[in-house]
Chains A and B, each alone.
Chain A
């Protein structure tokens, strides 16, 4: 529920004409919201009478591409198939913005990869954007341009994904070496079984200042965990 502020999509306030704005937005939920008795054909009949831009041909092509039977009730679909069905619907009205809530959670790695390929194909178009929430940071690493880490409703880190990955470094050292490291560089320190693991916010500076220490490239997940741990220690 919005408490204050203004939400703009495509430069237009959502209060202006939210119904027409939604023509250009496709949403994929973590749970499919279609009735279980509905088939792909039923969904097509419903949607072509709702969306002005509904592309029937594209929808059936997506069903074919995603190996989804159009005559089978979607209640009998697996989780991956249900997600693909939602994506097919979202793409078939030529949405420019896809909003997705945990689209890859609970899927096996092969289907997850297929989904990521679909997302990649979608964002190839210049005016296409995906806004997705996910706990699977590996997926974000593969497709995201911008990331926002939220913990307990608070934004703890946001920015360009490549810059975040480029900037941060994982410094490995012994406990006695810890005191030598400038505090302004340290995001968080974790005590591991083989020594200290420090997330630094300026990898290049840290590399120059402490060339004798081991510097590793952190994954997005590691960066996120360090930031969350830092905030929880405070």
Chain B
């Protein structure tokens, strides 16, 4: 067992521990934070596979943006634990069925011939840039699927905005262009005032 194997088992153990934490913690905020930990350690495993672009993008996109917004929402929830656990036995057979299916899939994939001992991951030198290769492939061989995925995301984004954008009648909003165009003279009037000599000099005039 060399150094890389030890690192792999450490990351793998953390990932499994964090994944267990996601489904066993009672508080959704803790569960979300466990998911963050699981993402970080899986990024570490990907790094061991020399997939540095995917590893860093996993941290950048999922940990840095998606989970932040998740936490943002989850933290504002008012959670009633009793109500959450109400239908446990009713939904248990359904959940168990899905879990069984996933276990079967995992065994099917992991036991496949492609991942037998005779095939090893290809290793590259230190000057090999994973990012450059990925970019070249995405924009040449896979340019149509890539563009299609981009269009799909754009449609989803436009749809999400269209669904949440509501124009209520009588809504008061600020006109930014008016605010920006305001001059000092519109807001402040400088008045020249004689300084009073006696206490009643201003009232006499």
Q: Are A and B a genuine interacting pair, yes or no?
A: no
Q: CB within 8 Å of B: which residues of A? A: none
Q: CB within 8 Å of A: which residues of B? A: none
